[in-house]
Copies of this chain bind each other. A is one copy, B any other.
Amino acid sequence: MHYKPGLHILSEFNSVQRDYLFSYAACEVLFNDLIDKYELTKVGEVYHDFENGGFTAVICLTESHLSIHTWPEFGLATFDIFLSNYQKNNQEKVKGLYAEVLGFFEGVERQKTELIR
């Protein structure tokens, strides 16, 4: 009963990259590249653009999930990534992947939470 699933990072960040916040096209390419690079296993995904701009996406991994929701009118995104440690410790992957997402959006953190679950 003492299994601790893993690290979950949740972030709200501002971005001046309005195109990247407006629709999911660039973000989808980024996420697929990162899933390959970090050797994660995707089991399904949902990407949804809103009519007036902004998008929402969740990617389901065997290791758990990542999600992003954007509000281009506020220059804002919420992002989170949670990888379980079921077969190996994935904490460094969580941190590395998050840093790359923040870098891609040139994000300025408003709030960041690291939760050991």
Contact = CB atoms under 8 A, between A and B. Distances in A.
A56 B46 contact: no
A76 interface: yes
Interface in A64-105: 64-65, 67, 69, 71, 74-76, 78, 80, 82, 84, 86
Interface residues on A, range: 35 or more
How many copies of this chain does one complex carry? 2
A10 B7 CA distance: 12
A59 to B, nearest CB: 8
Interface of A: 1, 3, 5, 8, 10, 12, 14, 43-48, 50, 56-62, 64-65, 67, 69, 71, 74-76, 78, 80, 82, 84, 86, 111, 113, 115, 117
